Structure 1
Amino acid sequence: MTLNDFLNHLAWIFKGYEALIVLWFLITQFPKYRWSLFYARHHTLNSLPLHEMHSCFMTALCYLFFFLYSSEIDNFIIRQLSAVDGQIKLFYLTAMINQFLFLVTLFSLHRFKGCFFSKTARVNIYTTLAVMALLFMQLVARGYFDYHELGMVYVFGGWACNIISVSALSIYPIRQTLGYFQKRSVA
């Protein structure tokens, strides 16, 4: 098994875990908030915990959607293009555009809803900016200067950002689940 095969399997594990985070929100929060989970606006978000919950949900949903979408686009580009130079440039440029679209979508949803940015959303924004910097580094190094020695920096940096992002997405559901079990044990 090569490193790329291992990372592809690991990526699917992360996708499954991210789907579980979104599913947790739908199972635990949808019965309580119904469609306001998706459509709540600033005037109905009257407390900081509500802002945090909505921000974490929007971030988890956007992160899952863009992680699934961008990985499929990346795989399509790798499989379809035959010109190596064009493939490298298009791959990194498309990945940077997808990361940028994630940022724009997350920011727009927060502004549209009038919701504050939670720590989870901010961590995901910062790690996305770091990933964009890594992608730009690879675009310049590999695409324009044919320098391939920064590959491990890109791989480990990208996966470190991914792990940090998924960890940040996990904090809210874990904290809420632990709080629920503490309340049940006291009662």
Structure 2
Amino acid sequence: MSEFGIAVDIVLKIAQAIVVLFLLVKFSEHRFSLLFGGKQSLTSREDHELHSCFIAALCVLIFQFISTEMAKHFLASEMDRALLKKVYYFINIAVATVFAGALYFLHSLRGCSFSNTAKRCLYLTVASILLFMMQLIARGFLNYDGLSPFYRVAALVIHSLLLINVAIYPLRTIKKMNSKTQKEA
């Protein structure tokens, strides 16, 4: 199992690196118009998709960092174990809900339509909220740990899918650029 965990961690780090490079390159090209350019600057479907994917990738990276740091903080605290379980899962539910709200708010602020990437981020967020609620009820209130193996696997799958989801757009864009270059040559 540890080899599998190491392999998944490597794939996730590569996906994160792709997303970070995408954010840096697109931000250097467009500056703040990616977030605050106004709806009139979005002239094509590709513009909407670019801006939506940029917003989704930015939100995913920021909120995954926040949730990881909060989890470290709460798990290291000296709280009563039963209270710690309740607070931990409740905070995760709150962070995931704020993520969904921020994603929606930034799309509304920018005036762009939701790309399939952003929609999948919201679907995965709903799944993670339901997963956290399940654990809050099972572990926090009923003190039942039987669902923990399912929770660990499901949380890893959702986390992985979320990162891979936002890494697909940059990879697809690179593939399109390579195919255009090959056709021109």
Structure 1 residue 70, shift from structure 2 partner: 0.7
- The count of corresponding residues between Structure 1 and Structure 2 is 183
Q: Residue 36 of structure 2 is aligned with which of 35, 39, 48?
A: 39
* Counterpart in the other structure of 2:144: 147
Q: Which runs of 5+ in 1 are unaligned?
A: none
For 1:110-149, what aligned pairs fall within 5 Å after superposition? 110-149=107-146
Unaligned runs of 5+ in 2: none
Match of 1:170 among 150, 167, 176: 167
The residue that corresponds to 2:65 in the other structure is 68
**Counterpart of 2:18 in structure 1: which amino acid?**
L
* Residue number in structure 1 paired with 2:85: 88
Aligned to 1:24: 22
CA distance in 1, matches of 2:180, 2:7: 38
Q: Matched residues, percent identical?
A: 30
In the alignment, the residues of structure 1 paired with residue 55 and residue 77 of structure 2 have an alpha-carbon distance, to the nearest angstrom, of: 33
- The two structures have a TM-score, normalised by structure 2, of 0.90
Deviation of residue 176 (structure 1)? 0.6
DSSP 3-state at the match of 2:99: helix
- CA shift, 1:167, in A, is 1.9
**Secondary structure at the counterpart of residue 72 of structure 1:** helix
Matched residue SS, 1:43: helix
SS in 2 for 1:148: coil
User: Which residue is 1:98 aligned to?
Assistant: 95
Distance 1:12 1:99 in 2: 24
Question: What RMSD in Å do the two structures reach over aligned CA positions?
Answer: 2.1
Deviation of residue 166 (structure 1)?
A: 1.6
Aligned equivalent of 2:182, options 179, 182, 185:
185
1:141-170 Cα deviation digits (max 9, x unpaired): 001111000001111111111222122112
Check conservation: 2:18, 2:170, Cα contact below 8 A: no
Q: Residues of 1 paired with 2:92 and 2:5: CA distance?
A: 17
- Shift of the 11–82 alpha-carbon distance from structure 1 to 2, 3 Å rule, reads farther
User: Secondary structure in 2 aligned to 1:81?
Assistant: coil
Distance 2:135 2:95 in 1: 15
| Aligned 8 A contact 1:51 1:115 in 2 | yes
